[in-house]
Structure 1
Amino acid sequence: MHADAFLAAAETLPVADLDALTEGRGLVVVAPHPDDESLGCGGLIAEACARGRAVRLVIVSDGCGSHTHSALYPPLRLRALREEETLEAVAALGLAPADVTFLRLPDAGVPSAGPVAQAAAEAVLAAVRESDAGAVCVTWAHDPHCDHQAAAAIVRLAQPQLGATKAFAYPVWGWTLPQGTEVGPPPVGYRVDVGAHVAAKARAVAAHRSQTTDLISDDPTGFRLAPEMIARFLGPYEIFVAMPADAA
């Protein structure tokens, strides 16, 4: 199926409650970069927190690839900033700092296989055990960014040990794929109604100021989320596509 048709179909998936994903248990969100959690799963995280469910967030990369030419924010300072932004963002969603794990793998260099990827998969499994998660949500394997694909591959490595815990993919950059890109069979999964949490989600996204404003002003090549990209993620539904275990 082509990407444009796949995503159009994903926007018509059945509307379901949080429990359709988690079966009343906890939730683990895996984000390749600081901010992906807010864009793709901010409403889901907020809903789970509002219901008192255990939630764990695993941020895979250090986020240092967003502004590689900044003298004001060299890598270690940028990493610290992006982690601070993440903690502020998830606080807006109801999540405590202790529930966030930063793996600090290299931005644009997250491995999909090998011992480092396996260690990341073990961190995901630890988060699943801590939260008694019924679902793990990670970026879509067809998102056109190497770290998004690697994060999906890391969850695939964990899948054989997930047991009854289901895995779901949330698209972030998939919307930018060229028409005609082949992405496999039609989507199966759910849309979760997060309308009650759109304001909190908007605050979470805005907390990532290094990605949404000119906070880092000395790198003209630096990354910045376009307003129209942000607007796409502030609607009333979030999309979660099932990742069958037999495809792992």
Structure 2
Amino acid sequence: MRADAFLAAAEALPFADLDTLTGGRGLVVVAPHPDDESLGCGGLIAQACARGLPVRLVVVSDGVGSHPNSPSYPPARLRALREAETLAAAAVLGLSAEHVHFLGLPDRHVPAAGQAAEDAAEAIAATARACGAGSLFVTWGHDPHCDHAASAALAAMAVRRLGSVRLFTYPVWGWTLPAETEVGPPPRGIRLDVGRQLLTKTTAIAAHRSQTTSLIDDDPQGFRLDETMLARFARPFEIFLEAET
């Protein structure tokens, strides 16, 4: 199926509630980079936290690839900034710092195989076991970013270690795929109504100031989320696709 048709179908998936996604159990959100959790799952996290469900966030990469040439934010300082922004966003969503885990893998070089990948998958699985997770959420495997695809592979590896835990994916950069890209069979999954959490979600996204403002202004190649992408995630629903493991 072409990407344009697939994503249009995903936008028309039926609505279902939080219990359909989690079975009333805990959940783990796996974010390739600091900010993906707020973009793709901010409403989910806020809704689950408000319900008192156990929620954990695993951030896979260190995020330092966003501004690789900034004199004022060399890698160590940029990593610290992006972790602080993530903790601030998580707090907005209702998630305490103790439930946010940073794997610190190298941005743009997250492994999808080998010992480092096995170790990362086990860390994700251990987080899921600790909170009694019924579901994991990770970026869509067709997102056109190497770390997003690798994180999807890590989450699938983790789920295979867990047994009855379900795996859902959420598109982030998939929305930018060329229309003619083949992405496989039609989507299966649900949309979650996050209208009541939308202001909280947009506030959490804004907490990632290094990605949404000119906070770091000394890297001509630095990354910044544009208005089109921000608008894409300012809608009153989130899309979760059922994934094969």
Q: Structure 1: which amino acid aligns with 2:65?
A: G
1:88-107 alignment to 2 at 5 Å? Answer: 88-107=88-107
Unaligned stretches of 5+ in structure 2?
none
| Alpha-carbon separation, structure 2, partners of 1:158 and 1:67 | 30
1:48-87 alignment to 2 at 5 Å? Answer: 48-87=48-87
Corresponding residue of 1:129: 129
| Alpha-carbon separation, structure 2, partners of 1:22 and 1:11 | 20
1:1-248 alignment to 2 at 5 Å? Answer: 1-244=1-244, 248=245
Q: Structure 2: which amino acid aligns with 1:230?
A: L
The count of aligned residue pairs is: 245
TM-score by length of 1: 0.98
Q: Look up the SS of the partner of 1:157 in the other structure.
A: helix
| Alpha-carbon separation, structure 2, partners of 1:194 and 1:34 | 21
Q: Look up the SS of the partner of 1:154 in the other structure.
A: helix
Q: Look up the SS of the partner of 1:83 in the other structure.
A: helix
How far residue 159 of structure 1 moved from its aligned partner, in angstroms, is: 2.3
| Alpha-carbon separation, structure 2, partners of 1:52 and 1:159 | 23
Residues 75-117 of structure 1 deviation map (CA, whole Å, 9 limit, x = unaligned): 0000000000000001000000000000000000000111111
| Alpha-carbon separation, structure 1, partners of 2:236 and 2:215 | 29
Residues 46-73 of structure 1 deviation map (CA, whole Å, 9 limit, x = unaligned): 0000000000000000000000010000
| Alpha-carbon separation, structure 1, partners of 2:60 and 2:28 | 13
Q: Look up the SS of the partner of 2:169 in the other structure.
A: strand
Same amino acid, percent of matched pairs: 65
How far residue 121 of structure 1 moved from its aligned partner, in angstroms, is: 0.5
Q: Structure 2: which amino acid aligns with 1:99?
A: H
Residues 163-203 of structure 1 deviation map (CA, whole Å, 9 limit, x = unaligned): 11100000000010001101111110100001110000011
Q: Structure 1: which amino acid aligns with 2:2?
A: H
How far residue 228 of structure 1 moved from its aligned partner, in angstroms, is: 1.6
| Alpha-carbon separation, structure 2, partners of 1:76 and 1:46 | 30
Q: Structure 2: which amino acid aligns with 1:116?
A: A
Q: Look up the SS of the partner of 1:123 in the other structure.
A: helix
Deviation above 4 Å: which 4+ runs of structure 1? none
TM-score by length of 2: 0.99
| Alpha-carbon separation, structure 2, partners of 1:229 and 1:160 | 32
How far residue 227 of structure 1 moved from its aligned partner, in angstroms, is: 1.3
Residues 179-234 of structure 1 deviation map (CA, whole Å, 9 limit, x = unaligned): 11011111101000011100000110000000000000111110000012111101
Q: Structure 2: which amino acid aligns with 1:72?
A: S
| Alpha-carbon separation, structure 1, partners of 2:232 and 2:28 | 23
How far residue 162 of structure 1 moved from its aligned partner, in angstroms, is: 2.2
